[in-house]
Amino acid sequence: MNDRERDLISVIVPVYNVEQFLDRCMQSILCQTYRNLEIILVDDGSTDASAGMCDGYAGRDSRVKVIHKPNGGLSDARNAGLEAASGAYIGYVDSDDWIEPDMYEQMHRACVDNHAGLAVCRYFSEYRDRTESGGSGSVVPLSREELLKIYIGGHDSYIIYNSVWSKLFARELVQGMVFPKGRNSEDILYTTRAFCKADRAVYLDSSFYHYVIDREGSIMNAAGAERMFRDEIPFWREHIACISEMVSPQMADFARYHFQRRLLFYYVDAVESRNRETAARLVTEIKKDRDETDRVYGGGIVTKGDRMRRRLFLLSPPLYAGVVRLYEKVVIPLRNGKGQ
């Protein structure tokens, strides 16, 4: 083992009825160029051949540990893996995905070289008929404020989402944290808390993780209106409260602003999908905490265009949706045409 592999990395892999995908996932982890790994397979009550496959990997490679437990869902499986992990760094791989051979070598090196508590990378989007990726190959150190601004508000070049599988966390950042059991969109608050605790991070503008977008039955594709109202929207509200408590009220206002933008986007999407019930519920969500939102929209962080859009929405949500559709169908194509 060389000096760059002195740190043990625990890789947590929740497993549930993925016999047709598990070998692809495991081979990509077992063949990592960074060898000092602790690979924790959490069999979450699988009823297919997955449980036996997990035991087989452990029998062939001493780095593999297996936990068999009753089915409790993705969050519960990840929590069991995190409790058993002993590494200085923690990574997550979903068992229907796979990773590039040098993913953990590159992410660990970036953390060490930049004195960073966590690393974030790009990922391949794996569709049934194509693969999408990007990146310049650059390695970009980020302060906590820079990291949070990109995470909250997005960036034209850097892809930093809430998914835990595109990240490598120093153990101290996630020690004692748990994923909320029985809920979806569980990465939002976990990642937010880790980001808030990190003094320094590093972004690798290279795709190392292969995320399967459209596998039928995948947890990540089971999104719907009920999940959005039950889990995702409440988690984004907790995300704002967490940032206010752990970072600053100013950064929380930035998060509140972008949360409102997200809800307005969801509303237009619901109208275009002719889902009236969802659209009506989103109107209620957008009008919650109106005084706080009005305060944020009266400040300097909100663009003039977004202020106008909010005023139009509060005047008439259906009119707002109609104007947005008209803008997208007429104005944007005209602008693009002029630019050619």
- pLDDT tens string 273-314: 888 999 999 999 999 989 999 999 998 899 999 999 999 999
146 plus 23 within the same structural domain: yes
Which domain, by its residues, includes 70? 3-220
Distance CA 50, CA 209 (A): 22
Q: What is the pLDDT of residue 218?
A: 37
Q: What is the pLDDT of residue 267?
A: 94
Q: What is the pLDDT of residue 216?
A: 47
Distance CA 5, CA 176 (A): 25
86 plus 234 within the same structural domain: no
Task: Please name the residue that has the structure tokens 């630019």.
Answer: 339
52 plus 140 within the same structural domain: yes
68 plus 192 within the same structural domain: yes
Angle, CA 116 vertex, CA 113 and CA 119 arms, to 5°: 95
Query: Which among 205, 207, 209 is positioned nearest to 141, based on CA atoms?
Result: 205
158 plus 257 within the same structural domain: no
Angle, CA 65 vertex, CA 60 and CA 68 arms, to 5°: 115
User: Is 200 in contact with 171 (CB distance < 8 Å)?
Assistant: no
187 plus 214 within the same structural domain: yes
Q: What distances in angstroms separate CA 61 from CA 3, 25, 55, 236, one per listed residue?
A: 22, 15, 10, 40
Give the tens place of pLDDT for each residue, 35-94.
999 999 999 999 999 999 999 999 999 999 999 999 999 999 999 999 999 999 999 999
Name every residue whose Cβ is closer than 8 Å to that of residue 170 and which is 6 or more positions away in sequence.
88, 89, 90, 111, 117, 118, 198
**Tokens in use for 330?**
């007429």
Angle between helices 249-272 and 233-246 (to 10 degrees): 170
134 plus 255 within the same structural domain: no
Choose the final residue of a domain: 176, 198, 220: 220
Backbone angles phi, psi at 212, to 5 degrees: -80, 115
Q: How many domains does the chain have?
A: 2
117 plus 248 within the same structural domain: no
The CATH number of whichever domain residue 46 belongs to comes to: 3.90.550.10
**Tokens in use for 337?**
């045409």
**Amino acid, single-letter form, for residue 326:** L
66 plus 163 within the same structural domain: yes
Which stretches in the chain have pLDDT values below 50? 216-222, 339-340
Choose the final residue of a domain: 198, 220, 242: 220
135 plus 199 within the same structural domain: yes
251 plus 212 within the same structural domain: no
Angle between helices 290-297 and 249-272 (to 10 degrees): 110
Distance CA 53, CA 31 (A): 17
196 plus 255 within the same structural domain: no
H or E stretch covering 20: helix 19-30
Choose the final residue of a domain: 187, 205, 220: 220
